[in-house]
């Protein structure tokens, strides 16, 4: 069609006689073949499970066959880079199959006219009136076009062409209209599927980004914890040595006591950081043994006793009148109770009331061959600042604190209860927190199936009691070795220091140590390599090799069998006594790397 006319395409076509739609009703209609239609629709329904292109191709093949046409196709609207839109032949069958992908204008095309009029249209010899059909071969006798309606705007058109004497009638219009309706449904399903897949991809991307952020946070927390452990070691050792040197000077001892309390607080924070990072990855496990619940509770109370006295709290403890044997990780359960007690002390005003009540069955009443664990219920209650109602559901979240807790002088990081929940669940138990609101106190209930019939004796207190020995310290940190060497020397030991593996090898040529304390992570020759070389030295055959590390994990232990045991930095005199006497408690690598709020938890593990 010439572009010189300014009339709208439908009007031009009517004047030119190209629109033959009225003839559809005048022509005699062939009888419907419902059996063929039903078979075709069944095949189309199956095609919905295929790809979008395969489904559209099946539609045009069906239109070609049911309408007896020479060509058939689907034109769908696509937006160009500018404001002008066009139709693309996305699926074509018959004589025009080679023109798949052909683009035609929206206004000056059979599809555009049918969509503009909003009804099916029949065109006679459309190539004479539409330049966009110039590439179609052979000539087109008639073209029947049915608009494909959309929810907001037309999606495109479904069309059939005849290239001979075949004429379309009202029955063909009905069939093509039915197929156009099916096409709309299929395109709607395809669009919904694409949108769902896009949202799923976005959700997956968001989940991956969140996981990466969580991993980055965990790595940062772990790294921060390890980095803080380094300077805390020499500071702790130096303070303990200074306290020995300052005996007889009350003013100095008082100042050192303040520093020592602050260092303990830092150690607890670092322990919580490392515990929180490990608990998120399931690496904070428990290693249960038979022990007495009363001993665990007493150890936990000892952890907070100094602070309780300073704040003049009234601590009421109610234990069963009989010894209760439990199968639990004593160090970790002590950490749990001490952590909850520590929160009660921290958030209860001076002179407040704190109670700890333990309810457990008498193991002697359990039948002899009954190994089913019974439940121990530990309730810790205070009349402190309480928890706001809207914050209760989040008390176990990492870094979760209410505004009042965050503003407290010793607010902490909000890590403790997250670790408590993890460790309680590792004992197959549960923990609940209750509060009537701010200023109305808090109640924490721990329930754990850990009570068994077996009985054990009360544990004996530990003391230093280390006879003078020869000790080799190997650490690339001069401050760490100097502080620990001073502390050990004041305790009566003979100490030699080395700041590298090579220097340590040179020292043992003339020095036969009873114990070698070796930093695992040193530049150049690391602790594992040095331990292996020391094992080859005749003079070190009886030397007890102890690894010093920021944290202990299974991979590190499996890396070298040269070490007799592992200690977490900084090693206390209690740790050294346990190592030398062979009385240190067995612990899994995951349970031994940090104390949380416990300074006296066992920190040694067999290599």
Claim to verify: residue 379 and residue 494 sit in the same structural domain:
no
Q: Which of the four pLDDT bands, split at 50, 70 and 90, describes residue 601?
A: very low
Q: What is the mean predicted confidence (pLDDT) over 566-595?
A: 56
What number is the average pLDDT over the span 149-170?
A: 90
**Domain shared by 333 and 403, yes or no:** yes
Is residue 296 within 8 Å of residue 334, measured between CB atoms?
A: yes
Residue 64: inside a domain, yes or no? yes
pLDDT of res. 412: 47
Residue 213, domain member (yes or no):
no
Residue 175 lies in a domain: yes
Mean pLDDT, rounded, for 441-463: 72
Given 130, 163, 196, which residue is the final one in a domain? 196
457 vs 47, more confident:
47
- E strand or H helix that includes residue 103: strand 103-105
pLDDT of residue 493: 81
CA dist 395 and 417 (Å) reads 7
Same domain, 495 and 428: no
For residues 69 and 63, the answer to whether their CB atoms sit within 8 Å is: yes
Domain-embedded: residue 151 = yes
CATH number for the domain harbouring residue 170: 3.30.450.40
CATH code of 338's domain: 3.30.565.10
Q: What is the pLDDT at residue 555?
A: 55
pLDDT at 264 over 70: no
- pLDDT over threshold 90, residue 554: no
Residue 81 has pLDDT above 50, yes or no: no
pLDDT of residue 261: 64
Q: Is residue 595 part of a domain?
A: yes
**Contacts by 87-90 with C-beta closer than 8 Å and gap 24+?**
87/111, 87/112, 87/156, 87/157, 90/53, 90/56
The region of weakest confidence among 278-287, 416-425, 502-511, 587-596 is 587-596
By the 10 Å C-beta count (0-12 exposed, 13-18 middle, 19+ buried), 88 is classed as middle
How confident is the model over 329-355, as pLDDT tens digits?
Answer: 887 888 889 889 988 998 899 999 999
Q: In this predicted structure, which of 53-67, 452-466, 472-486, 525-539 has the lowest mean pLDDT?
A: 452-466
Same domain, yes or no: 440 and 315 = yes
Task: Tell me the mean pLDDT in the region 29-58.
Answer: 82
The last residue of one of the domains, among 196, 218, 237, is 196
What confidence category does residue 109 fall into, taking pLDDT thresholds of 50, 70 and 90? confident
Question: Residue 499: which residues within 8 A CB-CB, separation 6 or more?
Answer: 474, 475, 476, 477, 478, 481
The reply to whether omega before 239 is within 30° of 0 (cis) is no
The pTM of this model reads: 0.43
**Domain boundary residue, one of 165, 196, 227:** 196
The answer as to whether 99 is a domain residue is yes
pLDDT in tens, 194-220: 888 888 888 888 888 877 776 776 666
103 vs 16, more confident: 103
Between CA 189 and CA 433 the distance in angstroms is 49
Q: Which pLDDT does position 161 carry in this prediction?
A: 96
Strand pairing partners for 144?
Answer: 122, 160
pLDDT tier at 10 (50, 70, 90 boundaries)? low
- Confidence class for position 605, pLDDT limits 50, 70, 90: very low
Q: Are residues 316 and 387 in the same domain?
A: yes
Spatial separation of the C-alpha atoms in residues 527 and 143, rounded to whole Å: 86
Q: What is the pLDDT of residue 244?
A: 77
**Domain that includes residue 97, residue range:** 9-196
444 and 479, same structural domain?
A: no
pLDDT at 16: 64
- 188 and 120 together in one domain: yes
- For the residues 63-67, what does the mean pLDDT come to? 92
In a domain? residue 77: yes
Residues 369 and 506 grouped into a single domain? no
Give yes or no for a contact between 9 and 113, defined as CB atoms under 8 angstroms apart. Answer: yes
Note the pLDDT of residue 591.
Answer: 38
CATH of the domain at 582: 3.40.50.2300
166/22 same-domain check: yes
What mean pLDDT is predicted for residues 286-303?
85
Is 440 in contact with 554 (CB distance < 8 Å)?
no
Residue 209 lies in a domain: no
Per-residue pLDDT, 597: 30
Q: Which residue has the higher pLDDT, 412 or 68?
A: 68
Higher per-residue pLDDT: 161 or 151: 161
pLDDT in tens, 219-242: 666 666 666 666 777 777 777 778
CB atoms within 10 A of CB 512: 15
The pLDDT of residue 105 is 85
> What domain count does the chain have?
3
Q: How confident is the model at residue 266 (pLDDT cuts 50, 70, 90)?
A: low
pLDDT at 94: 94
| Weakest mean pLDDT among 17-26, 504-513, 549-558 | 549-558
The whole-number pLDDT of residue 226 equals 64
**Domain match, 424 and 514 both:** no
Using the structure block, give the residue that is written with the tokens 């055959």: 541
pLDDT number for residue 97 = 93
Of the candidates 76, 133, 77, which has an alpha carbon nearest to the alpha carbon of residue 110?
133
Mean pLDDT, to the nearest integer, of 367-385?
89
Average pLDDT, integer, range 429-444: 89
Do residues 546 and 596 share a domain?
A: yes
The pLDDT score that the predictor gives to residue 106 is 80
- In this structure, the answer to whether residues 70 and 29 fall within a common structural domain is yes
Buried b vs exposed e over 19-54: b needs ≥16 C-beta within 10 Å? bbbeebeeeeeeeeeeeebeebeeebeebbeeebee
């Amino acid at each position: 069609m010439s572009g010189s006319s300014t009339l709208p395409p439908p009007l031009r076509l009517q004047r030119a006689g190209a629109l033959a739609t009225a003839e559809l009703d005048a022509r005699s209609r062939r009888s419907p073949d419902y059996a063929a239609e039903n078979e075709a629709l069944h095949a189309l329904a199956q095609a919905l499970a295929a790809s979008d292109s395969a489904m559209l191709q099946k539609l045009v093949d069906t239109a070609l066959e049911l309408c007896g046409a020479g060509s058939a196709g689907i034109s769908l609207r696509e937006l160009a880079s500018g404001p002008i839109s066009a139709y693309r032949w996305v699926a074509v069958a018959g004589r025009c199959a080679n023109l798949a992908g052909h683009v035609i204008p929206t206004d000056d095309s059979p599809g555009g006219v049918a969509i503009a009029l909003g009804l099916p249209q029949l065109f006679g010899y459309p190539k004479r009136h539409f330049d966009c059909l110039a590439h179609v071969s052979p000539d087109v006798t008639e073209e029947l076009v049915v608009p494909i309606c959309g929810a907001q705007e037309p999606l495109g058109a479904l069309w059939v062409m005849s290239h001979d004497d075949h004429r379309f009638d009202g029955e063909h219009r009905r069939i093509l209209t039915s197929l156009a309706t099916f096409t709309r449904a299929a395109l709607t399903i395809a669009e919904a599927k694409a949108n769902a897949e896009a949202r799923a991809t976005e959700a997956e991307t968001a989940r991956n980004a969140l996981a990466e952020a969580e991993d980055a946070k965990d790595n940062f927390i772990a790294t921060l914890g390890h980095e803080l452990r380094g300077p805390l070691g020499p500071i702790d050792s130096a303070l303990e040595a200074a306290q020995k040197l300052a005996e007889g000077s009350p003013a100095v001892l008082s100042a050192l006591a303040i520093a020592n309390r602050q260092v303990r607080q830092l150690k607890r924070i670092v322990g919580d950081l490392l515990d929180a990072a490990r608990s998120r990855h399931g690496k904070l496990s428990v290693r249960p043994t038979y022990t007495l619940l009363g001993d665990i509770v007493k150890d936990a109370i000892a952890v907070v006793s100094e602070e309780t006295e300073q704040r003049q709290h009234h601590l009421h403890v109610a234990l069963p009148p009989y010894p209760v044997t439990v199968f639990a990780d004593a160090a970790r359960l002590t950490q749990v109770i001490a952590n909850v007690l520590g929160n009660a002390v921290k958030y209860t005003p001076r002179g407040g009331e704190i109670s700890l009540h333990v309810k457990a069955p008498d193991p002697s009443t359990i039948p002899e061959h009954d190994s089913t664990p019974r439940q121990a219920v530990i309730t810790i209650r205070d009349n402190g600042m309480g928890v706001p109602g809207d914050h209760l559901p989040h008390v176990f979240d990492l870094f979760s604190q209410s505004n009042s807790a965050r503003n407290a002088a010793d607010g902490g990081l909000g890590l403790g209860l997250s670790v408590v929940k993890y460790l309680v669940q590792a004992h197959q138990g549960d923990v609940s927190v209750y509060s009537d609101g701010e200023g109305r106190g808090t109640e924490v209930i721990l329930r754990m199936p850990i009570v068994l019939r077996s009985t054990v004796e009360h544990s004996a207190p530990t003391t230093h009691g280390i006879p003078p020995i020869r000790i080799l310290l190997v650490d690339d940190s001069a401050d760490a070795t100097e502080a620990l060497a001073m502390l050990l020397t004041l305790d009566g030991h003979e100490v030699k220091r080395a700041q590298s593996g090579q220097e340590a090898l040179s020292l043992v040529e003339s020095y036969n140590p009873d114990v070698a304390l070796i930093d695992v992570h040193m530049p150049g020759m690391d602790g594992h390599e040095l331990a292996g070389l020391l094992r080859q030295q005749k003079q070190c055959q009886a030397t007890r090799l102890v690894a010093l590390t920021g944290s202990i994990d299974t991979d590190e232990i499996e890396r070298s069998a040269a070490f007799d045991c592992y200690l977490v930095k900084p090693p206390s005199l209690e740790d050294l006594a346990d190592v030398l006497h062979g009385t240190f408690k067995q612990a899994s690598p995951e349970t031994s790397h940090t104390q949380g709020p416990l300074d006296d938890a066992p920190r040694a593990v067999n290599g």
